[in-house]
Amino acid sequence: MIYLYIVKSLKEIASGLFIVAILIGCLALSPLLDIQKTKLAQIPSFENHIFQYAVMPLQVVQSWILEQQLESKDPAVQQTLKNLNDKLNLKKDKVLENFKFDLFGAVAYYLIDQPNKEFSFVFLPGSGLAKGWNSNRHYTIDEGVFYFTEILQPKEQSYFVESIKGLKFKTIELNARTQKFELRGHTYKLHWERHAFELELSANKKSKFTRLMPNGFHVSCPIALRNMPHAFFFLENIKDCSINYYGAKLNDKQALEFEFEVLLSFDNDLKIKQFLNEAQKAYPNWDWHQNFVKVNEAIYAIKRENKKQLFICSSPKNFIKNGQIKKQNSIAPIIFSGDPTLLTKFENAGWAAAVLELFPIYRGLSDFTSRTALVSTKNQSIRWELKQDYFAAGEFLKLLGSSIE
């Protein structure tokens, strides 16, 4: 169920952004235009944004998509671009038929916090539409149009109109090789190379995190989930997550079983109690006990580590020694390391392997991880290196394409 929710979210974001579609539209024009690799552009400034990302599509196309294609000449990337074009064709949006997109402007995506709900939208620079609400998903100003990823109710529309009174624009520097995004007040930089990409984390030496000792494929990061579906509402209690993942298998009873250990952090003991109570309500068919839960014949241990942390794992004999788990303190807000092929590892799969192959995102992730040479976190940077035969931009596009099929 979590997999389906993630895929649904990816589809909504990808179809809502329009960025990929605009990239494809710029692909034909880019050889005819000379775009500087570093350029200034203006985007709307929102004080209450949770997430902000801006990109100049034409600049990105010229700087790395075409460059990668000239070197790699990967026909799978060309096919991915064609498939994305078919799915994200702007002409299908009748409201935007007369919209004149500014090729030299910046497209920006925002996740905005409002009372009781968060909503997301894309700003497209350009002209040609009447000012105001063109539909319940399009709002036009002099500089361009805001496209919302979900239909807004009248109250939400009124809130947005009120929030952009006196809207200001800010000037940002765009570099196709180094892209910036803002998340909850922190700025991150994503550096693209031929065969790798590196995420430079926001320095935050004042905060310390207690996480698991990395093993298997390891991910540690803060969590701030909101507006989750009812089945996953209990996840909103989590503040930080640290997980070591080792793969999945079908056990002797042909039930799916995951091999993992996860350390969840909360604000206080009450949040832990709420998490467990709401999880039991969401999944009443699971066999819940004080120290473990049984799911489809698989048993997962539950251990209160302290008043703010909860440890959950498979195979407790492997991960809990003399009542202790392996953990460490870290100042890095986000950590990735280990073997990413474990994400698609599935032992004793049998018939299930054939079913999984039907999901494009599984095939795409399997290909992407198998072409990875190294994943590591060092000096406040997460580095993902691909094998020398594979190019970062092309492989990322193929993974993105599989996520929205």
pLDDT at 3: 38
Residue 311 has pLDDT above 80, yes or no: yes
In the block, which residue shows the tokens 């080792």?
Answer: 246
Q: Where are the beta strands (DSSP E) in 235-297?
A: 240-250, 256-265, 287-288, 292-295
Alpha-carbon distances of 45 from 42, 149, 157, 309, rounded to whole Å = 9, 19, 18, 37
Please choose, from the candidates 21, 98, 80, the residue with its C-alpha nearest in 3D space to the C-alpha of residue 55. Answer: 21
pLDDT average, residue stretch 180-195: 86
Q: Enter the pTM of the model.
A: 0.80
The CA distances from residue 291 to 84, 144, 214, 301, 307, in Å, are: 47, 55, 24, 6, 16
pLDDT attached to residue 85: 67
Q: pLDDT tens-digit profile of 356-400? A: 888 888 999 999 999 999 999 988 899 999 999 898 888 888 888
pLDDT digits (tens, 9 = 90+) for 94-141: 888 889 999 889 999 998 877 667 788 999 999 999 999 999 999 999
- The percent of residues above 90 in pLDDT, for the chain, comes to 50
Q: What gap in Å lies between CA 90 and CA 122, rounded to an integer? A: 14
